[in-house]
Amino acid sequence: MEQINIYSGKKAISRIVAAESLRDLPSCLEPYRSIYAVIDGNVARKCPATGQLTEILKNRNAKIKLIETSEEGKTLETVMHICAWLLENGADRDAMILAVGGGITTDMVGFASCIYKRGVRFAYVPTTLLSQVDAAIGGKTGVNFDKYKNILGIIRQPAFTYMCPQLLESLPQRDFLSGVAEMLKTFIIEDNGNYQKAADLFFDISSEYHVEVMMYGKDEKQAWAEILKKHRRTLSGLISAAARVKAGVVSRDQFEKDERRKLNLGHTFAHAIETLAQRESAEQRETATEDMETEIQQRLPEGVTHGEAVAMGMVLAAKLADRYYRNDRNDPTELEAKISNDLWDCNIPCYCPYSIEEMAQIMKKDKKAEGGKVHFVLPKAIGEVEIVALTVDEVCRLMK
């Protein structure tokens, strides 16, 4: 078990416990008298470790609520629903709210805990790779509102985040790969030799999966779970390494005034891609019921996960860096090729089907834009990025 702290000045304000199993969770819960656990329904149904988790919670007389999660349901209404449950079940100011699930669950339960009775303590057991390396670290909580993602929220640190790769073995492959993209993003920002280790591991995992499923005809879910189990130790080391990077950045800049912006590498493009993909699928739903003949052509027919959009965004950021530093000594053209090859090798789609003009329309409305400029994170090399404020028109000119 490893402990990583998040600091405000010299004071530790949150701790991340990285363990190989749930064995050490009871000791993390020990100090708390009344525990209220909100668990993602998919985790409860699909994750074999849930039995052990339920046992731990029962031993502490915890109250348990299951929620169904979706990006559309990441709303104030769901947060109110969680608050109503806390109220009905007598949660007082001494309560500890435990969120068990992916980023949607931790963001919403964290937010509910921040506003319930003006703020009660909360902690996370993240169950997706994306939430273990990113969403459950750093204290950003919130919900979507009025077509904007995560526009309502509060930054407040959980008492602890308990992570173990055992919980990831039931995660669908596509959701797992979404987290791989965020992990690679973290190591492009700060490497310490971990980027290549991660790219090699996920290349191996992807190859082994194809051999087992395509060549030996093994059941997809079983093969996936077995391969993840086999690599549990290496995966665990990389999850801790990514958590250390994020914890360090958050400790130096909790409220995203400066350095924390680096963690948004690829995200300005990613948000535009997610919005365009959502629009296409909404339009398709409408035309499909009214007139099948005018059904629009969807460029991402399977939709896009957050991690896939980030993967596409990172490749675009590398291209932008290439154009921006054209006269520099670094050679980001190679970097763009390296990042996209590594993502493909891990089985993460990273080709963006939208034009820069289409994305520009969305980026102009970016909620993080300041004085007409958006902060773009430009990768100069693996482990080296720079934050540059550019107008969207400048970006369009550079990317053409």
Ligand X SMILES: NC(=O)c1ccc[n+]([C@@H]2O[C@H](COP(=O)([O-])OP(=O)(O)OC[C@H]3O[C@@H](n4cnc5c(N)ncnc54)[C@H](O)[C@@H]3O)[C@@H](O)[C@H]2O)c1
Six-digit token pair at 327?
Answer: 């006269």
Q: Is 105 in the site for ligand X (CB under 6 A)?
A: yes
Q: Is 313 in the site for ligand X (CB under 6 A)?
A: no
CA quadruple 195, 199, 204, 205: dihedral sign:
positive
SS3 290: helix
Q: Indicate which single residue of 19, 36, 38, 74 sits in contact with ligand X (rule: CB under 6 A).
A: 74
Per the listing, tokens 């407040």 go with 156
Q: Indicate which single residue of 4, 56, 98, 104 sits in contact with ligand X (rule: CB under 6 A).
A: 104
- 99 CB-side CA count, 13 A: 35
Task: CB nearer to ligand X: give 47 or 318.
Answer: 47
SS3 13: strand
Q: Is 16 in the site for ligand X (CB under 6 A)?
A: no
Supply angle C-alpha 194, 196, 200, rounded to 5: 115
Task: CB nearer to ligand X: give 317 or 399.
Answer: 317
Q: Exposed, middle or buried: residue 353 (CB in 10 Å: 0-12, 13-18, 19+)?
A: middle
User: Judging by DSSP bridges, how do beta strands 2-8 and 11-18 pair with one another?
Assistant: antiparallel
Distance, CA of 358 to CA of 187 (rounded, Å): 29
> What's the length of the chain?
400
Distance, CA of 15 to CA of 60 (rounded, Å): 21
SS3 167: helix
Nearest distance from residue 34's CB to ligand X, in Å?
A: 25
Nearest distance from residue 253's CB to ligand X, in Å?
A: 14
Task: CB nearer to ligand X: give 149 or 232.
Answer: 149
Q: Is 306 in the site for ligand X (CB under 6 A)?
A: yes
First to last CA, the chain: 49
**Closest residue by beta carbon to ligand X:** 103
Task: CB nearer to ligand X: give 232 or 323.
Answer: 232
Q: Indicate which single residue of 75, 150, 234, 347 sits in contact with ligand X (rule: CB under 6 A).
A: 150
Q: Indicate which single residue of 135, 198, 273, 321 sits in contact with ligand X (rule: CB under 6 A).
A: 135
Q: Indicate which single residue of 18, 86, 99, 103 sits in contact with ligand X (rule: CB under 6 A).
A: 103
Q: Is 130 in the site for ligand X (CB under 6 A)?
A: yes
Q: Is 171 in the site for ligand X (CB under 6 A)?
A: yes
How many of the chain's residues bind ligand X (CB under 6 A)? 31
SS3 368: coil
Nearest distance from residue 302's CB to ligand X, in Å?
A: 14
Q: What residues line the site for ligand X (CB under 6 A)? A: 40, 42-43, 46-47, 69, 71, 74, 101-105, 107, 127-128, 130-131, 134-135, 138, 140, 149-150, 167-168, 170-171, 175, 178, 306
